[in-house]
Amino acid sequence: MLGLGNSVSGLTVPDEGSVIPTFDGLQVWYKFNEGLTASGSLITAWADSSGNGNNLTQSTETNQPSKSSPEGGIDLDGSDNFMALDTALDLTAFTIVATITIDDNTLETLFGNGSSGTDFFRLDGSAWTIRTAGSSFQGAMSTSRSDGDSYVLILISQRGASQTRYNLFDLTDGTFTTEGSVTIDNQTFTIGDVGRNSANAHFLNGKVLELAIYNTELSSANARLVADEMTIRTGI
């Protein structure tokens, strides 16, 4: 059971706002205001600060996002902007912490699998929807966020013997909210793109200011520690 306890087992606590807390399993970390490569006002790459070298890149000018405001992340236009991981992540149990602003909540894809439309995590109106490879079932988790809201989104998967429960939280103005959960059959969830369903559809209209992905299930308390550090850096 997830809960907001005080346990910080395995944690290295950094100076406030300098880095995210160090937990095992950090796969990628696209850090606010670090590692961005620009060509004019467009972003061509976002270096991975986890040490794993799995950068976000986009070589096609028409697909390149703009610098975000506040400057430090990426601003995607909802039309054709997205970035791709150098190497797609195949995840089972995992934790995602992302500081985002969604400007339009109609079919806005945060993650696609990089090759098809079968894996995605997107905002469908009032619910975040996840679909995993090999599954026709799309699990929806409600959200109370509106267009233009900025917040830290947290998605934690709890993998059981045959099914996985996905738990959605957010941190807004210091308030940590449980938004919803859904349980679907065990499948691998693949992340290859940020900002589109990988069938070239449902592009994200909004900003990604910081993003960290772990290939392990963090407790909600530890995930909040990661989120708290992001809010210090981004000012969200």
* Residue boundaries of the structural domains of the chain: 26-234
Cis peptide before 21 (omega within 30 of 0): no
Q: Is 229 within 8 Å of 97 (Cβ atoms)?
A: no
Least confident of 24-38, 50-64, 126-140: 126-140
As a whole number of Å, the CA-based R_g of the chain is 16
Q: What is the pLDDT of residue 45?
A: 98
Tokens of 82: 């997205």
Q: What backbone torsions phi and psi does residue 150 show, to the nearest 5 degrees? A: -110, 135
Residue-wise pLDDT for 170-187, tens only, equals: 999 999 999 999 998 888
pLDDT at residue 157 in the model: 95
pLDDT tens per residue, range 90-135? 999 999 999 999 898 888 999 999 888 778 898 888 789 888 876 6
CA separation for the pair 102, 149 (Å, rounded): 6
Q: How many CA atoms lie within 13 A of 109 on its CB side?
A: 27
pLDDT of residue 190: 92
Q: Which residue has the higher pLDDT, 78 or 131?
A: 78
Q: What are phi and psi of 44, to 5 degrees?
A: -100, -20
User: Is 230 strand, coil or helix?
Assistant: helix
What is d(CA 153, CA 179) in angstroms, rounded to the nearest whole number?
Answer: 10
Q: Which helix (H) or strand (E) holds 221?
A: helix 220-234
Q: Averaging pLDDT over each range in 9-13, 17-21, 90-94, 139-143, which range is the top one?
A: 90-94
Output the CA–CA distances (angstroms, integers) from residue 190 to 10, 17, 77, 215, in the order listed. 26, 29, 23, 11
Query: What is 26-234's CATH number?
Result: 2.60.120.200
